[in-house]
Structure 1
Amino acid sequence: MMLRKIDHNKMGRSNLGWLRSLFHFSFAEYYNPENINFGVLRVINDDLIAPHTGFDTHPHRDMEIISYVVEGDLTHGDSMGNKQTVTRGHVQYMSAGTGVLHSEHNHGDEMLRILQIWIFPDKKGYTPNYGDFRFNWEDRHNKWLHMVSGKDGDATVKINQDVNFFSLELDKDKEINFPVANGRQAYLVQIEGTSDINEISLDARDGLEIIEEDIQIKAKETSHILVIEMAKE
């Protein structure tokens, strides 16, 4: 059983002008050999993308890539012919598999904030795949919304790994629990607001590693939270 807070002030960071990022794990110019991954979770980048900018076409392979939109509009294009725009609370996912080219842009007039998340697949060589889902915001109000699961799971979005994504908007002073069973671990992102979790105080953009321990969350102010649950490494 273990809880470990990841203070966002101590995370890797990058500022390219059009793109400002916090790196929960080693990425790009931020390299930390002690912080490469957490189980099958390889990347969480908390990205702020300026209006009318974005990531031009670039390749990926053998990675499950999930983008969770916090605010603004995210437009995806890829070599499979997909072009879609998603907004706050929506999920876009791509199995890069044997290789795919894609782009991600903010064509809007407002700042775009996304969590870009990479998960190791359960094997290499999948046929590339893309999808998105426009979840109803209310479906996570004071309750867990199960957004992503493995192929045997029951979430709307299914990826090639035994992993579960849950989102939550918890009103100020409300409490909710989240169980993390034996042989399982989870990574929590305090996306917006502040909370106390098993007496650990989290501010906006902080992370929390959870191993085989149930957590009790109390919102100190309205809290928007993402939990990624998976097998213990």
Structure 2
Amino acid sequence: MLKRINNEYLGQSDLGWLRSRFHFSFAEYYNPNNINFGRLRVINDDLVKAGKGFTLHPHMNMEIVSYVVDGQLTHTDSMGNEHTLTRGQVQYMSAGTGVYHSEMNYGDETLRFLQIWVVPDKNGYTPNYGDFRYNWDDRKNKWLHIVSSVDGDANVKLHQDFNIYVTELDEGKELEFKVEEGRQAYIVQIEGKSKINDIEMFMRDGMEVIEEDLKIEAVEKSHIMILEMNKE
């Protein structure tokens, strides 16, 4: 089963310093029929003006991944971490029993990043932070496995049966991806335009996939993310 989510129908917010597209219910966007997709609770596509950001605020019992598309993202938290990430790099925070953090744009350009929340396999983990500066070329015309479960082989690991893959496909290139029996996936067309099983995907579109093999063709250079998980 495939279901394209047109970016024009995503939840939207414009606070001046922050413009967001919400793939699932979040903040002032509430849709009781669009709360989550399995263990995937949040994908926010955020644009943050230079010098602005999310000041110190709390989280509990959520696995939080941030993926930088453009600009600079600076993370600080109550555990003493402070790191700045750029395009294609990933940060992870297991909020567990409780943590405060901020996400700021101290750069000169608009920051675009995807904020992803995944429900953990249980509550009460000790809070933890990590990040990884993946080489951009490692996703050129192939899948780069950037996030896995703690038993998986990605450098960033979540407390959940959950995987994230990214690619940048050159125009005319193709890739396949298998969503096995008992599995499902959510796709984000981060940049560019593609066809997935002959369904056109435009920048910021989403797609739900359940137990179906995928053939992805880049109509133009395409930056794509797949979030794969156990079917519920």
What is the TM-score of this pair, normalised by structure 2? 1.00
- Structure-2 residue corresponding to 1:81: 80
- Structure-1 residue corresponding to 2:152: 153
What do residues 140-195 of structure 1 show as CA deviations (whole Å, max 9, x unaligned)?
00000000000111111111000000000000011110000000000000000000
What do residues 188-233 of structure 1 show as CA deviations (whole Å, max 9, x unaligned)?
0000000000010000000010000010000000000010000001
User: 1:57-72 counterparts in 2 under 5 A?
Assistant: 57-72=56-71
What is the TM-score of this pair, normalised by structure 1? 0.99
Moved over 2 A (4+): none
- Structure-1 residue corresponding to 2:222: 223
Residue 138 of structure 1: SS of its match in structure 2? Answer: helix
- Structure-2 residue corresponding to 1:196: 195
- Structure-2 residue corresponding to 1:141: 140
Residue 33 of structure 2: SS of its match in structure 1? Answer: coil
Q: CA deviation at 1:5?
A: 0.2
Aligned-residue CA RMSD in angstroms?
A: 0.3
Structure 1 residue 27 corresponds to structure 2 residue 26: yes
Which stretches in structure 1 are left out of the alignment for 5+ residues? none
Q: Give distance in 1, aligned partners of 2:88 and 2:214.
A: 23
What do residues 21-65 of structure 1 show as CA deviations (whole Å, max 9, x unaligned)?
000000000000000000000000000000000000000000000
Q: Give distance in 1, aligned partners of 2:130 and 2:230.
A: 24
Residue 138 of structure 2: SS of its match in structure 1? Answer: helix
Q: CA deviation at 1:67?
A: 0.1
Which stretches in structure 2 are left out of the alignment for 5+ residues? none
* Identity rate, percent: 67
What do residues 111-154 of structure 1 show as CA deviations (whole Å, max 9, x unaligned)?
00000000000000000000100000000000000000001111
Q: How many pairs are equivalent?
A: 232
